[in-house]
Structure 1
Amino acid sequence: MTNHQPLIIGIDAGTSVIKAVAFSLKGEQILVASVRNTYHTTKEGAATQSLQQTWLDCAQAIADLGKQLSNFRERVVALAVTAQGDGTWLIDADGQPVTDAWLWLDGRAAPTVAQLQSLDGERSRFEATGTGLNTCQQGAQLAHMVRHYPELLDQAATAFHCKDWLYFNLTGIKATDPSEASFTFGDFRTRQYKDEVIAQLGLNDYRYLLPPIIDGSETTHPLSQSAAELIGLKAGIPVSLAYVDMVMTALGAGVHTQDDSVSCSVIGSTGVHMRSVADQEVYLNDAGTGYVIVLPVPGKVTQVQTNMASALNLDWLLNVASELLAEFGIDADNKALIAKIEGWLNQSEPGQLIYHPYISDAGERGPFVDANARASFTGVTYRHRYPDLVRAVIEGIGMAMRDCYEGMGGAATELRLSGGAARSAQLRAILAACVGADVRVSLREEAGAAGAAMMAAVANGYYPDMNTCIAEWVTPLLGQSEAVDPNLTRIYDNLYQAYLEQRQSYPHVWQTLAKQRDFACAANGQNSTHNKNDASGRAPDFCANNQ
Structure 2
Amino acid sequence: MTTEPRIIALDAGTSMLKAVAFDLAGQPVAIESRPNRYREAPGGLAEQDMAQTWEDAAATIAALVARLDGAPVAGLAITGQGDGTWLIDAAGAPVGPALLWLDGRAGPIVERIRASEAGPAIFAESGTGPAACQQAGQLLWLAANRPDQLAHATTAFHCKDWIYFNLTGVRATDPSEACFTFGSWRTRAYSPVTIAGYALEPYRHLLPPIVDGMTTQHALTQAAAASLGLAAGTPVVLGYVDVLCSALGAGIYGTGADCGTSIIGSTGMNIRLADDDFEREAGAPLSGYRMVFPVKGKTALLQSTLAATLNIDWLVGIADQAVKLAGHPSDHGAMLRALDEQVLAAPPARAVYHPYISAAGERGPFTNSNARASLAGIDRSLDLTGLMRTIYEGLALAAADCYAAIGGAPDMISITGGASRSVAMRRIFAAMLNRPVRIIKEHGSGALGAAMIAAVSLGIAPSMDDCARAWVAPLLGAPEPPDPALAEHYAPLLPIYQAARDAAPPFWHQFAGFTETRHG
Same fold, TM exceeding 0.5?
A: yes
2:87 matched residue in structure 1? 90
1:468, CA displacement in angstroms?
0.8
How is 1:294-313 mapped onto 2 (pairs within 5 angstroms)? 294-313=292-311
- CA–CA separation in structure 2 for the residues paired with 1:44 and 1:382: 33
1:112 matched residue in structure 2? 109
TM-score (norm 1): 0.88
2:107/2:369 contact within 8 Å kept:
no
1:507, CA displacement in angstroms?
1.9
1:369, CA displacement in angstroms?
2.4
Equivalent in 196, 221, 224 of residue 224 of structure 1: 221
1:432, CA displacement in angstroms?
1.0
Equivalent in 162, 165, 176 of residue 162 of structure 2: 165
1:253/1:444 contact within 8 Å kept:
no
Q: In the superposition, relative to structure 1, how do residues 155 and 352 fare at CA in structure 2: closer, same or farther (>3 Å)?
A: closer
2:168/2:219 contact within 8 Å kept:
yes
SS of structure 2 residue aligned to 1:366? coil
TM-score (norm 2): 0.92
1:476, CA displacement in angstroms?
1.2
SS of structure 2 residue aligned to 1:503? helix
- CA–CA separation in structure 2 for the residues paired with 1:483 and 1:233: 45
Matched, 1:64 2:76: no
Paired amino acid for 2:38: Y
- CA–CA separation in structure 2 for the residues paired with 1:262 and 1:502: 29
Q: In the superposition, relative to structure 1, how do residues 423 and 231 fare at CA in structure 2: closer, same or farther (>3 Å)?
A: closer
1:98, CA displacement in angstroms?
3.1
Equivalent in 145, 167, 178 of residue 181 of structure 1: 178
Q: In the superposition, relative to structure 1, how do residues 47 and 330 fare at CA in structure 2: closer, same or farther (>3 Å)?
A: closer
Equivalent in 425, 428, 432 of residue 427 of structure 1: 425
Gaps of 5+ in 1: 529-547
- CA–CA separation in structure 2 for the residues paired with 1:335 and 1:108: 31
After TM superposition, the structure 1 stretch with the greater mean CA deviation from structure 2, 423-432 or 167-176, is 423-432
2:372/2:508 contact within 8 Å kept:
yes
Q: In the superposition, relative to structure 1, how do residues 514 and 463 fare at CA in structure 2: closer, same or farther (>3 Å)?
A: same
1:195, CA displacement in angstroms?
1.5
SS of structure 2 residue aligned to 1:68? coil
Paired amino acid for 2:437: V
1:17/1:34 contact within 8 Å kept:
yes
SS of structure 1 residue aligned to 2:492? helix
1:487 matched residue in structure 2? 485
Q: In the superposition, relative to structure 1, how do residues 199 and 324 fare at CA in structure 2: closer, same or farther (>3 Å)?
A: closer
Gaps of 5+ in 2: none
Paired amino acid for 1:429: R
1:253, CA displacement in angstroms?
1.6
- CA–CA separation in structure 2 for the residues paired with 1:346 and 1:90: 46
1:337, CA displacement in angstroms?
4.6
- CA–CA separation in structure 2 for the residues paired with 1:314 and 1:50: 26
Q: In the superposition, relative to structure 1, how do residues 386 and 474 fare at CA in structure 2: closer, same or farther (>3 Å)?
A: same
Q: How many residues align?
A: 519
- CA–CA separation in structure 1 for the residues paired with 2:448 and 2:34: 18
SS of structure 2 residue aligned to 1:274? strand
Q: In the superposition, relative to structure 1, how do residues 120 and 516 fare at CA in structure 2: closer, same or farther (>3 Å)?
A: closer
Superposed CA RMSD in Å reads 2.5
SS of structure 2 residue aligned to 1:21? strand
Matched, 1:50 2:81: no
- CA–CA separation in structure 1 for the residues paired with 2:208 and 2:480: 45
1:182, CA displacement in angstroms?
0.5
Identity among equivalent positions (%) equals 44
Q: In the superposition, relative to structure 1, how do residues 129 and 317 fare at CA in structure 2: closer, same or farther (>3 Å)?
A: same
Equivalent in 212, 215, 227 of residue 215 of structure 1: 212
1:78, CA displacement in angstroms?
0.5
SS of structure 2 residue aligned to 1:474? helix
SS of structure 2 residue aligned to 1:371? coil
SS of structure 1 residue aligned to 2:103? coil
2:386 matched residue in structure 1? 388
- CA–CA separation in structure 2 for the residues paired with 1:28 and 1:42: 41
2:255/2:472 contact within 8 Å kept:
no
1:243, CA displacement in angstroms?
0.7
1:336, CA displacement in angstroms?
4.5
After TM superposition, the structure 1 stretch with the greater mean CA deviation from structure 2, 63-72 or 497-506, is 63-72
1:325, CA displacement in angstroms?
4.5
Paired amino acid for 1:407: A
- CA–CA separation in structure 2 for the residues paired with 1:122 and 1:61: 40
- CA–CA separation in structure 1 for the residues paired with 2:139 and 2:337: 46
How is 1:386-535 mapped onto 2 (pairs within 5 angstroms)? 386-518=384-516, 522=518, 527-528=519-520
Q: In the superposition, relative to structure 1, how do residues 330 and 6 fare at CA in structure 2: closer, same or farther (>3 Å)?
A: same
1:148, CA displacement in angstroms?
4.5
1:375 matched residue in structure 2? 373
**1:358-378 deviation line (CA, Å, top 9, x unaligned):** 333443222122333333333
How is 1:10-29 mapped onto 2 (pairs within 5 angstroms)? 10-29=9-28
How is 1:532-547 mapped onto 2 (pairs within 5 angstroms)? none
2:430/2:436 contact within 8 Å kept:
yes
Paired amino acid for 1:112: I
2:245/2:447 contact within 8 Å kept:
yes
1:252/1:444 contact within 8 Å kept:
no
